[in-house]
Structure 1
């Protein structure tokens, strides 16, 4: 009868182990596998408080994969997320079980505990401890930890060991699959973070460098210096700034400067000017680089007139409020420069050459509220703007230089009374068309609007309608090309191609 009872018990255990193995191999989720094991232990031996620790071979640590009972769900989850046992130096029983690969069982928790055992007891509050190693091909892959509510017999422990042996392979496989999935998710997240960081870096780079220059730097790791045959450099300075700044708090001072320079940035961008830097209360920008164009001097003058108009408007508002506000002094000079990027950690796009020095002298030799330009700039804009010759003016370190005040766009080329907005005729004139072609375009526009060119004259009302067409939103074109498309590109060459024997270099 005893033999028959033992045989029946063995048969039942075999069925349980087969069912456990079947369920274990049907899942690829480690947590689900742990729940299957916990269910069998609770059903067979009434064990409610359990945990499964898996070995991380990369960090040589034991980490809890799942737990049941002992504490509330939230506290248990926090423990699962943070608890680790370093198998190299922890003196507790878990490290010993890992190394010895033998089951450890005590019915009553001792008062003195070592290593992580103390933390386990404080967190899970067990009455007894059962530790069963899961060994696969001579390696401990996990440890099952339980708190049996009743004393276990030697046969019970042997049965639990066989149960753990049965699922050791499945635990190892699912743990590896889960680790691979986590690594894949972390790699995807890392890639996404890298892409976000790269996008932020690119945006920051394009915020401090011209787009075309930033692209060259990203693609080749360097920016080749470029010599430009002719660009226009613009400097501004606030008259009375030092005196006014002394009466402002640091926050108020920065707020005032930021308000002005932010507006200058927008005006510069709109007029194809490249902002280069601000130094104190000075603002520097240039036209005709990094993408060359022959309209750089015109762009610079349009920018300067808008700068002055904005500052005048601000002065009126401040005056009405009883606040002091500074005036602006603007200088422009056109000539050759070398442009490039300096710095390794903090990049800066800058220009060098005597043109920069002369432009600075144009500003310092000017007058408050005026746009002061050199003779070379004047020759490039005289047909489009009302200019006043100042004569030869002494400039520090440069001797006497021809200087001109630019007051406004010529009335017949302006779409507004102040002479700030170009009309259609301005756009045609800036494309370097000769006067015969301009007159032909005017006649063409007249014919398109009125049906014939009889009586068409530059001083007629119809002519004025054509000239001022931009004010009403019309833009006169020729051969289907815009004014910008008809501009000829200005010269720009890599610095390596420049003849340094030229005068002044």
Structure 2
């Protein structure tokens, strides 16, 4: 049998590289083929291997130790198989002039039987083999040899599928890079717009160049700020203060989004978000109370760490009110989405009348959430420029509706009972 020329071997190795398969983890589809080949032929060992310039590497193996993944190609029968266009079938390797002196025959593991089929690529290069081997001489029926041939075709089909997926991914990546380059400026502006505006508002602004103010009959406003923030500004350097404030507000943004609230703005140490707009929904009073509980829980957790470091705790106050509001865009060069109305002013006054670490809500909100949350009546409290407001502290989710001991996480029954599950 003639060895492949150096030019052919260079081309064969280049073809093998297209598949990017060498040293990849085991895969069930290949392992199924080797197990089936061994069972059909009654052999203790079956291997799917690929040949690079120096080694026979096992993509899949049946009947060999887990850590046995390769061997030098010059000592293997498969080194001859890849130079063939067809199956090599040797019932007794010791009786074959070409193979009887190979190391795997004369020394451990002392192979006696071999049947191997080259894995030939669509360009005609033999990349590796599917083989079955035994440690005693063995005769295979024609149907068994045909099974080895067909299983080798299946193994090659898996390799071709891998190559097609790689080629597809490469093409998709190239198209994506071209598209990204062409649309980079537009995408950047759109991302920026969506970072500062709710998505429906951003879309309206992009389509029409303006956003009409809208009256929303039912919203719930959550207003929060940190008590004695001025004292913190006097005890912390500006960089650390801003970093901690950014960390707190960043987590508030996540909590708001998780509870379908829209972050409106931050003003110094104050944080404003709202539910029920720009897209109306029925759950906004519940969403706001859940968000308030989770914000307070986050600050309590952060304060436990601060206490260990003897740092001043953050004291968060939250006011929540339900009512109508007007929402729209202000500004022409620097767009800001904002809300106005008496309901917003009341939410701010509720926050100012709140105790640190608590959530203060108005009767307008309690009406929607009393079934789901434990609330503590505070009576009628007078506030500046508005008058007396009936106020309530929201303490927690009721135990029967809570998934945690602290009463901040709703369970499945909570959503069923609230009519939103």
| Cα 1:195–1:361 shift into 2, 3 Å | same
Give yes or no for the alignment of 1:336 onto 2:336: no
Q: 2:184 aligns with which of 191, 196, 210?
A: 196
In the TM superposition, residue 194 of structure 1 has moved relative to its aligned partner by 5.6
Q: 2:369 aligns with which of 356, 371, 381?
A: 381
Q: 2:274 aligns with which of 281, 286, 289?
A: 286
The Cα offsets for residues 29-75 of structure 1, whole Å up to 9 and x where unpaired, read as: xxxxxxxxxxxxxxxxxxxxxxxxxxxxxxxxxxxxxxxxxxxxxxx
Unaligned runs of 5+ in 2: 1-176
Q: Structure 2 matches for 1:145-184, cutoff 5 A?
A: none
**2:232 and 2:241 in contact (8 A); partners too:** no
In the TM superposition, residue 429 of structure 1 has moved relative to its aligned partner by 1.4
In the TM superposition, residue 210 of structure 1 has moved relative to its aligned partner by 0.3
In structure 2, the residue matched to 1:394 is 382
Where is the helix percentage greater, Structure 1 or Structure 2? 1
**1:225 and 1:340 in contact (8 A); partners too:** yes
The TM-score normalised by the length of structure 1 is: 0.47
The Cα offsets for residues 421-473 of structure 1, whole Å up to 9 and x where unpaired, read as: 11111101111xxxxxxxxxxxxxxxxxxxxxxxxxxxxxxxxxxxxxxxxxx
In the TM superposition, residue 342 of structure 1 has moved relative to its aligned partner by 1.1
Q: 1:214 aligns with which of 183, 202, 217?
A: 202
**1:244 and 1:325 in contact (8 A); partners too:** no
Specify the SS of the correspondent of 1:332.
Answer: strand
Specify the SS of the correspondent of 1:246.
Answer: helix
In structure 2, the residue matched to 1:356 is 344
**In structure 2, distance between residues paired with 1:310 and 1:228:** 30
In the TM superposition, residue 190 of structure 1 has moved relative to its aligned partner by 11
In the TM superposition, residue 299 of structure 1 has moved relative to its aligned partner by 0.2
In the TM superposition, residue 226 of structure 1 has moved relative to its aligned partner by 1.1
Specify the SS of the correspondent of 1:318.
Answer: helix
**In structure 2, distance between residues paired with 1:325 and 1:273:** 26
**1:328 and 1:370 in contact (8 A); partners too:** yes
User: How many residues of Structure 1 are paired with residues of Structure 2 in the alignment?
Assistant: 245
Q: 1:417 aligns with which of 405, 408, 412?
A: 405
In structure 2, the residue matched to 1:406 is 394
Q: 2:294 aligns with which of 289, 292, 306?
A: 306
In the TM superposition, residue 193 of structure 1 has moved relative to its aligned partner by 5.2
**In structure 1, distance between residues paired with 2:365 and 2:242:** 33
**In structure 1, distance between residues paired with 2:182 and 2:203:** 18
**In structure 1, distance between residues paired with 2:243 and 2:346:** 30
In structure 2, the residue matched to 1:269 is 257
In structure 2, the residue matched to 1:315 is 303
**1:341 and 1:348 in contact (8 A); partners too:** yes
Specify the SS of the correspondent of 1:262.
Answer: helix
In the TM superposition, residue 379 of structure 1 has moved relative to its aligned partner by 0.4
Q: 2:214 aligns with which of 190, 205, 226?
A: 226
Q: 1:236 aligns with which of 224, 241, 255?
A: 224
In the TM superposition, residue 413 of structure 1 has moved relative to its aligned partner by 0.7
In the TM superposition, residue 245 of structure 1 has moved relative to its aligned partner by 1.3
**1:342 and 1:350 in contact (8 A); partners too:** yes
In structure 2, the residue matched to 1:260 is 248
| Cα 1:195–1:372 shift into 2, 3 Å | same
Specify the SS of the correspondent of 2:235.
Answer: coil
In the TM superposition, residue 191 of structure 1 has moved relative to its aligned partner by 9.0
In structure 1, the residue matched to 2:134 is none
**In structure 2, distance between residues paired with 1:419 and 1:376:** 22
Unaligned runs of 5+ in 1: 1-188, 432-482, 485-505
**2:375 and 2:392 in contact (8 A); partners too:** yes
Q: Structure 2 matches for 1:22-171, cutoff 5 A?
A: none
**2:327 and 2:339 in contact (8 A); partners too:** yes
Specify the SS of the correspondent of 1:313.
Answer: helix
| Cα 1:315–1:191 shift into 2, 3 Å | closer
